[in-house]
Structure formats: structure tokens, C-alpha cells
Structure 1
Amino acid sequence: MVVLLLLGLLQLAVPGLAQSPPSGTVKITKFTYSGSGCPRGSAEGVVSSDGQTLTLIFSKYTVSTPGSTSNRRKNCQVGVTLMYPTGFTFTLGTVTFRGYAQFEQGVKGTLAAAYYFSGIQGTVRVSRNLPPPVEGNFEFTDQFVTFVYQPCDRQPLMLNLNSEARVMPPPSPSKSAGLITVDSQDLSLRQLFRLRWKKC
């Protein structure tokens, strides 16, 4: 018996178009990543031309059960430094999870996201439980309870984006299986962060 959770999209989305930098002026200047969910060569980042969306694309973000505890939970920490015109600052507001799930009775899944700026106190987190039974596409949005902005009086700091995927089997002696992996359509797990801009 197999349980599938195919995580296709993790999207952090926020308003703020009125006080945004001009189109074409937001760029990635540094991109790093590490973690059990994103081995070398399996992640990339792209900023939209209008500067509103930062997209992270993963090709090997997979957790599974049965198996070792380490196989049931994977995480990835991404570091992104953005270049944009002076006089603006940004934060992240909501996160939208989108993907595909198929759970047998008793199996659960958890998705989580967090962000912080290097050198600035305050990590903002959200998480979502996916209880059984689940089967089919899903999409849901959660809002961060606080906003942490990039300081206006400093050079752009690295934005750290942490994510976690986890599957939890029911108590023994159940042999239910589970899997969280890339989306079945585009073969990637995506995190779309829409940036909330304002003027300093």
C-alpha cells in the first residue's frame, strides 16, 4: 500500500505593488542552499521581471516512509541576496502551499516555512498539517503573524528561507507508506515568494 504526497508549490505571497521598485530593477546577486532536501545541483532561484516574485525550484526534495527517521523529514535552507533601488525595503507576508497528496488512513504530512534576515533578530514561521485521508491536488494559504523588514539603513542583507517536509506513519504495527516529492507535472517542487515592498 502506498501513500503519496506530491508537493508542487510553496508560495509566499503578499500585496504591495503601489510602492514597489520599477520593473526590471530587482535582481539576485547571491544564491546559496544546503540541507537534506536540496542536495548539490538540485535548486535554483529566479526573480520575476516585475520584482514581485522570487521563485525557488527544487528537483530532489523527497521524504518517504517506511524507512529511517531521516528519510521521513527533509529540510532546505536557502540564502538569497537581492539587489534593488535604494529607498525601498521588503518583507514576506503569506505562504501558499500547492501540490498533490494521497494519504491512506493514519498517515499524516506536515509542511513548514520560515524566513529571517541575516544579522536581524526575529524568525517568522508558518506550518500546515495535512491529516488523512487526503487524495488529489491541494492549495492553501497561511499568513505570517508578524513582518520582519530588510533594514533601510544597511546594504541588502541575506534573506534566509527555510522549509521542511515531513511524513508521519500511524503507530505500529501499521505498514502504511508515504512519500513527499516533486510535482508530477513539472518534476519540480517550487516555492514562490511574492515580495511585499514599501518605501523607506
Structure 2
Amino acid sequence: MKYTFTALALAALSIATPIPDPSPALAPSSFKIAGIISGGSGCPQGSIDIDYTDSRILPIYFSKDFTAAVGPSVAVDQSRKNCQINIQLQYTPGYQYAVYSADYVGYGDLDSGVRGVVRANYYFSGYTNQVSSSLVIAGPFTGRYTKHDDIALSIWSPCGSESMLNVNSEVSLTPTGSAASGTLVATKESAKFSHTVYIKWRQC
């Protein structure tokens, strides 16, 4: 099932709880994505897909717009791209879910001295804490990269309501204004940047 989505999400924050082991047996019997909102410098309208396969994996696919760049002739505002995604899930009452892991897959071309960062923050609307995962790539580097990132703390959705999960993704390069050049998360041939979010469930 594929969703293409638009617009700008307003976010709040969420509760952080130490991470237990994910248990497939606790997944709810009913699960679907009821709505998605997104926006930011790295995800103009209609540029992102979520193509999920089950109740525990949310693969997010970005277009070439989610590409940071630096170099002598590159504008400073191109050194960082951001995408705010708001995901509304509907599922069997009596459950709550949390993000426990993430995968990053993309492409980079960085000169020596250029540093790239891929980062994501996760939180639920109406709550106060957040958790994050990140990947640092140091130049010189050219090619495809992959990273599996286990998140040290979980954020649990509230019991008794279907609070929206917010994913704030960012790619950035430093330094700006130097002779060194770099691009990060650029579409290369048929490749796209993808950010897969893994979620776990428990009963309230």
C-alpha cells in the first residue's frame, strides 16, 4: 500500500521510556496508516512515499529534493535539507507503539574535509520528550551508504488515543563557503534515499 502526501506538519514532543525487546506476538490485529502530512525544504509536495508491508515497518522514500550540497558555487541554504513527517496510525484499541530502530540508505559524494550528517528525531504530538538517531559520514567518500541504527530509548504512544508519530529528518553538510564540494542523499542512477522506521507494540 503506497501513500503520496503533501503539506506542512506542526509537531510536539513525546515521552521517552527505556527500550524493551520487541515482541512480534504483541502486534495488534488491526493496523493501517490513516493519514500522512509532510513538508520542508527537502520534501516538496508529492515527493515522498511510504510503502509499508506490515505493522512493524514504515519505509519512507525521499526524492532527489532531499539532497544537501556544499561547494564554491553552491548557495549556503543548500547545505541542509529538512523534512517533517506526521504519520497517523489506526490500530486495535488497547495497544501502544514505539520506534526502536531505523535504517538509512543513500548516496554521498564528499571531498576530503567535508562532513555529512543524516539525522532523525521521533516524537508524538502532545508530549514533551523525543529520541533521535544519526549517521555521520566523513569525506573523502563516494558511493552508496547503509546504516542500521538501534535507538537507545523508546518513545511510546499514549494509551487510549491514536497520537500522531512525528519524524523530523535532516541531511546536512559542513563546512560551507570552502573550496571543498559535496552532495549527500543525492539520487544516483536508480537509487533513492530511504529511511526505514521499525516500530514495536505492547498492550496498555
- Considering Cα pairs closer than 8 Å and 6+ residues apart, tell me whether 1 or 2 has the greater RCO: 1
Q: Which deviates more, 101-110 or 183-192?
A: 183-192
- Equivalent positions of 1:113-132 (< 5 A) are 113-132=120-139
Which amino acid counterpart does residue 54 of structure 1 have in structure 2?
A: L
Deviant stretches of 4+, over 6 Å: none
Within 5 A, what are the aligned runs for 1:1-200?
15-22=22-29, 25-48=30-53, 50-59=54-63, 60-66=65-71, 67-153=74-160, 155-169=161-175, 172=178, 175-200=179-204
Ranges in structure 2 where 5+ consecutive residues have no aligned partner:
1-20
Kindly, what percent of the aligned residue pairs are identical? 30
RMSD: 2.0
Instruction: Kindly tell me the number of residue pairs found equivalent between the two proteins.
Output: 181
CA distance in 2, matches of 1:121, 1:162: 15
How big is the shift at 1:171?
A: 7.3
Contact kept, 8 Å, 2:97 with 2:156, in 1: the verdict is yes
Q: For 1:147 and 1:161, locate their aligned partners in 2 and report how far apart those are by CA, in whole Å.
A: 14
Question: In 1, are the aligned partners of 2:107 and 2:193 still within 8 Å (CA)?
Answer: no
Kept in 1, the 8 Å contact 2:110–2:183? The answer is no
TM-score (structure 1 length as normaliser): 0.82
Distance of 1:137 and 1:188 partners within structure 2: 10
CA contact (8 A) 2:104 2:194 kept: no
1:142 & 1:52 partners in 2: Cα distance?
16
